[in-house]
Amino acid sequence: MQNKQEILEKLTGIQSSRKSYYTELTYLVEEMKKKNRQLAVINQLTQLSINASWPETSIYIASQLTQILPFARFVLTLTKGGHLSSYLASQEDGQWQCHTHTSVVPEFVEQPTHPLKGFLKDMLEAMFPDYHALSVPLHSQRNQAFGYLTLLQKAEQSADSDSQDAELFSLIASHVGVSVENILLFQDVSEKIKIEAQLVQSAKMAAIGEMAAGIAHELNSPLTAILGNSQLLLREMKATPTAPLMNDIYQCGVRCKKIIQNLLTFSRQEEYVFSTISIDEVVEDALGLIGYQLSVSGLTVTKHLTQPPLQFHGSRHQIEQIVINLLLNARDALAGRENPCIELRSFLLEDEAHAYVGLSVYDNGEGITGEQLPQIFQPFYSTKERTKGTGLGLSVSLGIAEAHGGKLMVESEENEYSQFTLLLPLLREEARNGEKTDTDRG
């Protein structure tokens, strides 16, 4: 019997009388289960998703930790460039939520070892007065602290957790640190790749702009000859059978001229005279030029212009070009639609800081898909047939609007409508009077 007891003790490591034997065994089994759970959680924590957002990452860590450590809120904090970004995860009605809190690091905490730990503790305990903050640093491969994990515990929870929990939390931080550093590196690399691609794209655009300007200048003189001569010949030909052919040549010449004009404006190689103009005048001018073209296409054009007219300082020719581009786009979008109509509306838009002269061009045409919308202002983006669109209209218009200190915006619903809104800084009565006296004096 004595022998059997000794063998059992050796096998199980439990030294006890038969009475307490089962209690101790259960305890040991529970401990082992607990350790297994901890290992499983640590394993899960090393598998942070590399492209998750920081709030998602914080919630993921919190939801794993809650299986092995007692706490009410969890905070993932990252330090970067003098700022602390804290992602506070907590459970509300069984659902994890995350709030972001950013703060500037005061200079006095710049000390060598875990400089921010105390600052972070004070900050979190001030935000959550009934909680006790337990923070551990996240270390990079080069042994620099780049962030912290913090458990916010209520008084009874912090009494429950022992030194073993604190040790476990530190161990977890060393594993999580590696994964979090990987995410940071991944973000850095992605950002670099994105910037590089943007640089390549803008270098390409600059090259295209310069080339286009050169070609446009070269083409301008022969085109003037083509246009002038074809107009002279047209006048002589009158009703001869070949007159339509000559008219074609003339129309194509006009189209080329328009493209060249756009290219020159696009590459900012043309100078324009700025003067005080009202948006209504520009609308009238644009309609004078293409209004007939629009009405023969069967479109109803309505205008709602403000009284008195709103004025701004700018290039009449360039703003007219914007309005014409918008009207022609509306016309194209209305091809084959029922009850096609275009509405032009001028208005005043004021807030505390700015005052704008606004012009909106609405059409009930085909609209723009969500996929196309972000691209329509890009140069050479066109959904039209090759012979119809160059894709420069909107990018040129946006460039002009911005050069005037204004904006060009769009709103659209596929198959319903499109509305483009041009905003230009309003020239106030006082400023205009000031301008007058200045020139009078001059």
168 contact choice in ligand ATP, Mg ion, none (CB below 5 to 8 Å, kind-dependent): none
For the four alpha carbons of 315, 318, 323 and 326, in that order, the dihedral sign comes to: negative
**In the structure encoding, which two tokens stand for residue 280, read together?**
């209504």
The single-letter code of the amino acid at 26 is T
In the complex with ligand ATP, the residue whose CB is nearer, 279 or 333, is 333
Q: Which listed residue (278, 318, 329, 346) binds Mg ion by CB under 5 A?
A: 329
In the complex with ligand ATP, the residue whose CB is nearer, 112 or 336, is 336
Q: Which listed residue (157, 382, 403, 414) binds ligand ATP by CB under 6 A?
A: 382
Contact 354, 425 (CB under 8 A): yes
Smallest distance from Mg ion to CB 283, Å:
18
DSSP class of residue 113 equals S
Q: Which listed residue (10, 33, 217, 384) binds ligand ATP by CB under 6 A?
A: 384
Based on the shown chain and the rule CB under 5 A, indicate whether residue 393 belongs to the binding site for Mg ion.
yes
Which residue is at the shortest CB distance from Mg ion? Answer: 393
The single-letter code of the amino acid at 70 is P
Which residue is at the shortest CB distance from ligand ATP? Answer: 393
Q: Which listed residue (392, 400, 422, 423) binds ligand ATP by CB under 6 A?
A: 392
For residue 398, which of 258, 215, 294, 268 has the smallest C-alpha distance?
268
DSSP class of residue 187 equals H
Contacts to ligand ATP from residues 308-327, by CB under 6 A: 325
Give 306's contacts (C-beta < 8 A, 6+ positions apart). Answer: 280, 346, 347, 348
Based on the shown chain and the rule CB under 6 A, indicate whether residue 389 belongs to the binding site for ligand ATP.
yes
Smallest distance from Mg ion to CB 389, Å:
6
Rounded distance, CA 162 to CA 159, Å?
Answer: 7
- Quote the longest CA-to-CA distance of the chain: 133
Q: What three-state secondary structure class fits 81?
A: coil
392 contact choice in Mg ion, ligand ATP, none (CB below 5 to 8 Å, kind-dependent): ligand ATP
**In the structure encoding, which two tokens stand for residue 65, read together?**
């930790």
Q: H helices of 374-428, where?
A: 393-403
Based on the shown chain and the rule CB under 6 A, indicate whether residue 393 belongs to the binding site for ligand ATP.
yes
54 contact choice in ligand ATP, Mg ion, none (CB below 5 to 8 Å, kind-dependent): none
Based on the shown chain and the rule CB under 6 A, indicate whether residue 390 belongs to the binding site for ligand ATP.
yes
In the complex with Mg ion, the residue whose CB is nearer, 145 or 328, is 328
Based on the shown chain and the rule CB under 6 A, indicate whether residue 345 belongs to the binding site for ligand ATP.
no
Summary count for the chain: helices (H), strands (E): 11, 12
For residue 290, which of 266, 247, 254 has the smallest C-alpha distance?
254
In the complex with ligand ATP, the residue whose CB is nearer, 172 or 330, is 330
Smallest distance from ligand ATP to CB 126, Å:
52
Smallest distance from ligand ATP to CB 246, Å:
24
Smallest distance from Mg ion to CB 272, Å:
20
In the complex with Mg ion, the residue whose CB is nearer, 314 or 393, is 393
Distances (CA, A) of 304 to 5, 238, 283, 284, 345: 103, 40, 11, 12, 5
What phi-psi label fits residue 351: left (phi over 0), alpha (psi between -120 and 50 degrees) or beta?
beta
Q: Which residues bind ligand ATP (CB under 6 A)?
A: 325, 329-330, 333, 363, 365-368, 372, 376, 381-384, 389-395, 418
Q: Which residues bind Mg ion (CB under 5 A)?
A: 329, 393
